[in-house]
Amino acid sequence: MLLKELIDNALDAIESCADKKIVVEYDYNGGLLKIFDNGDGLSISDVKDIYDFDNYVSTNRHIINISRGKQGNGLKCVVGICRQCNYNLLWHTNENIIICPKLDTANAQDGEIAVEFRQVSDTEYKGIEVQGVHTRNIKGF
């Protein structure tokens, strides 16, 4: 499901591009999944909004017909899946900065989860990395 959601979001990002490109890389030994595209990318502010679970951030909410999804909750699902599986997310933003969120769920009160973002490094890509995805831990691989 994680891979499906990330590819769906990459497809959404490049929908209006004349020259569409998505790159999917997986390092089996390192458990590193990377999905990049040539869309506009997310800003640091956009990423922070995704972690505000009281706020609906999708621009696809108005779409009524069913297609690949476009319900607007895909990246919030990605956050939840990664948290549950102890994967680490690295967001490659359109400001050419990689940020990494740290969720403090142990102190969650009234449904609010504290999130701290730190800058990891610079990047030339737009997309996401998921660290810790080892297929040997996934049934069926």
Contact 85, 132 (CB under 8 A): yes
86 torsion bin: left (phi>0), alpha (psi -120 to 50), beta (else): left
Spans of the chain, pLDDT less than 70? 55-72, 107-112, 135-141
7 by Cβ neighbours in 10 Å (0-12 / 13-18 / 19+) ranks as middle
Tell me if 105 sits within 8 A of 76, measured CB to CB.
no
